[in-house]
Structure 1
Amino acid sequence: MTPVSSNAPHGQSSLRTVQVVGGGHAGSSAHVRSLAEGLVARGVRVTVCAPAEADHAYDFRGTGADHVPVPRSSDPAAVGRLRAACADADLVHAHGLHASFRAALALGGRTTPLVVTWHDRAHAEGARAHLLRLLERRVARTAAVVLGTSSALVDRARSTGARDARLGAMALPGRPRPAAPEDPDRPSAKLRAELGATDRPLLLAVGSLDRHRGYDVLLDAARRWSSLDPQPVTLVAGEGPLRAELQQRIRDEELPVRLLGVRDDVPDLLAAADLALLTSRWESRPLFAQEALHARVPLVATAVGGVPDLVGDAAALVPYGDPRALADTVTALLADPERRAQLTERGTRQASGWPTEDDAVAQVLSIYDELTQTLALL
């Protein structure tokens, strides 16, 4: 077992870690890439076990890490591949519930410390919800340390049996410099024209078209603000199983809402928006909320999960599932440029206090050192 504080050249570590990611959550994949880059720069040997498509999207190997393609599956072949990749690891760090469960299976019978990061809460209903609770309990009780991206997730880990649950330092990976109103690099009027918002307010939501995102409530609210003059344009960037259902409602009710599908220009869309909307039933540390505040775009969000702690007083918070409250808040903000400017300035201050990528790397290195030193003494 090689502790972090070993006598590696130039004081760097010779620790070998395996980072396990499922690839189904953009925030966790971006976080793993950021961690890998920071760890490699500090002399840590890093292997990222992730689906091939995740490596294509996030280029883990571009950080100097090794990549072992492991599909998002708990079948024996996938777990066997993961077990082989972890064979000589000093420590394994898994990200997300399902990746953590696979890592726990792969490490069965070994003393290799397992750290897990819960980036969000898994969403399911009925029998699947019961299964997810069982997985949470198994992972929480197996891990040496559980890092939660919000205090709500830390509390959840503790309630499911975690021996050691802590708040994780989570950065906004690859954070761009804040945009200013006079910034010449902001999207031109051409983009707003392409989006049908030349002389109309532009509202933007980003996220998969899943039930827990609350897009049914968003459509109910859009019906309320559709009578405004000028009429706002509401854009939803993302894809998912509810596309047909949502699109049918948009057509039937003639709502001023467009489903854009998956977009690779979300920063440009966000910079062009007048308001950012987050309508989810539950979020831990939503990437979109962070991007909105950092991009100086006023945010309206549901007061759920870790959102209030993340945004503080820098966003207009509404109850989940209340289309009237959402519509009234959006309407009031569109009519109040001073309030929007106030949220913009508060957002900039709030974002400046969030952890940096260096903070996140420093925290995990400290935990790795703690666990490997302890194991070396046994």
Structure 2
Amino acid sequence: MRIGLLLAESRGGIGQHVASLVPRYLAAGHEVVVCAPPGTTDHFDFGAATVVAQTVGLRGTDVVHAHGYRAGMAALRDRSHLRPLVVTWHNAVIATGARGLVMRLGQRLVARGADLTLGASSDLVELARRLGARQARLAPVAAPAMPAVRTPSAAVREELGIGDAPLVLSVGRLAPQKDYPSLLSVAAEVATTDPGVVFAVVGDGPLRDNLQARIDAESLPVRLLGHRKDVADLLSAADVFLLTSHWEARALVLQEALQAGVPVVATAVGGVPELVGDAAILAFPGDTRGLADGVRKILSGPETAAALRAEGLQLAAGWPDEDAVAKNLLDIYGGLVATTA
């Protein structure tokens, strides 16, 4: 097959997912054309795939797989030439006001225009069906295999200047979806009873200055580490992984934390509960007290931490890896091509 992969501007999980598919499709003997903005193609390595900047470059492919609503809308503008069309929904629309209204309208158009809608979590699949999708099914996105730890935990802690202090780690773009104001409130709450706990956040984004201003004003035990390439090392040094998001599908950072054996405290949103099962302590979004209590329970209870660690490792061992995800998608493409020829 000649496979077209279409994505909008991306610096995170969507681009990473597409970049993981390309070499596997090529190794299986298929041709691959990737259509993405220059910033995205500069950020990710799409290997030997043909790279184009406009959807016209996807014409003549046997199947087009768009990743995200914006990519789906771009495909619909050239719909007569780009079919069959598969669209994967990676995220929910959480914007409000006029922008949110426009985005939800786009969702509906993409749901009805695609030959097949794939959802990264079950709630997205159900939403697509409610919005009129012809076909919709679950298609989990695999987290890449964790790289080997290169720096011992003691050295990581020394570099952070925290010694033996408990470390609570979060990873993600400093953007509204991640609800880092709640994370700062959790840190403040934990500090009332456990003042030695350090919270560290990996990632950059538009909220950095606002978050740092609050950290400084309230003397919160939170470090904004910015972009890091040693997440595996940081996970190996962490005592707890904390996710405070308003919404997530199959959060790659949670998959990485569980693969690394780090006990997790997270918000019960989107696809998080079905992803983590009993391998995490969950609280409602914005429930500062509940999240803080979860952190305290792990830090003060070695048996709780050990049980969560073991449950997470067992769960992660059963997830489909990148090879399995790519093979599943190739089977899906083959079925669509056969039925729409």
Q: Same fold (TM over 0.5)?
A: yes
Contact (CA 8 Å) 1:300, 1:315: kept in 2 or not?
yes
Shift in Å at residue 275 of structure 1? Answer: 0.7
Identity of aligned residues (%): 48
Cα displacement (A) at 1:110: 3.0
Spell out structure 1 runs of 4+ moving beyond 3 A.
174-177, 227-230
SS at match of 1:109: coil
Measured in 2, the distance between the counterparts of 1:124 and 1:322 equals: 20
Q: How does 1:258-337 map to 2 (within 5 A)?
A: 258-337=223-302
Distance 1:25 1:115 in 2: 22
Is 2:29 the partner of 1:43?
Answer: yes
Contact 2:35 2:58 in 1 (8 A): no
1:58 matches 2:44: yes
The 8 Å contact of residues 298 and 315 in structure 1, kept in 2 or not, is answered as yes
Partner of 2:152: 187
Matched, 1:139 2:71: no
CA contact (8 A) 1:169 1:363 kept: no
Match of 1:164 in 2: 135
Q: CA RMSD in A?
A: 1.6
| Matches for 1:178-257 after TM superposition, within 5 Å | 185=150, 187-229=152-194, 231-257=196-222
Instruction: Report the AA paired with residue 219 of structure 1.
Output: L
Distance 1:187 1:55 in 2: 34
Matched, 1:153 2:124: yes
Task: Tell me what 2:69 maps to.
Answer: 97
In structure 2, the CA distance between the partners of 1:204 and 1:86, relative to structure 1 (3 Å rule), is same
**Distance in 1 of aligned mates of 2:190 and 2:151:** 27
Q: Is the 8 A contact 1:169 1:359 kept in 2?
A: no
Deviation at 1:358?
2.3
1:86 corresponds to 2:58: yes
2-side partners of 1:25 and 1:304: how far apart? Answer: 23
Report the CA distance shift for 1:174/1:54 in structure 2 as closer, same or farther (over 3 A): farther
1:179-229: per-residue Cα shift (whole Å, max 9, x none)? 7xxxxx553412102212212001111111122212111111111111345
Structure 1 gap segments, 5+ residues each: 1-14, 71-80, 180-184
TM superposition score normalised by structure 2: 0.95
Q: Deviations over 1:155-186 (max 9, x none)?
A: 11111111000000321124447x7xxxxx55
1:305 positional shift: 0.5
Aligned-pair CA distance for 1:281: 0.7
Partner of 1:345: 310
How far is the alpha carbon of 1:371 from its aligned partner? 1.3
Shift of 1:135: 0.6
Of the two, which has the highest radius of gyration? Answer: 1
Letter in 2 for 1:336: G
Q: Deviations over 1:324-348 (max 9, x none)?
A: 1111111121001111111111001
Q: Which amino acid aligns with 1:49?
A: C
Number of aligned residue pairs: 341
- Is 1:128 matched up with 2:99? yes
1:109 deviation in Å? 2.6
Mapped to 1, the partners of 2:176 and 2:43 lie a distance apart of: 25
- Counterpart of 1:4? none
TM superposition shift of 1:52: 2.8
Q: d(CA) in 2 for partners of 1:375 and 1:324? A: 53
SS at match of 2:273: helix
Structure 2, gaps ≥5 residues long: none
**Equivalent AA in structure 2 for residue 173 of structure 1:** P
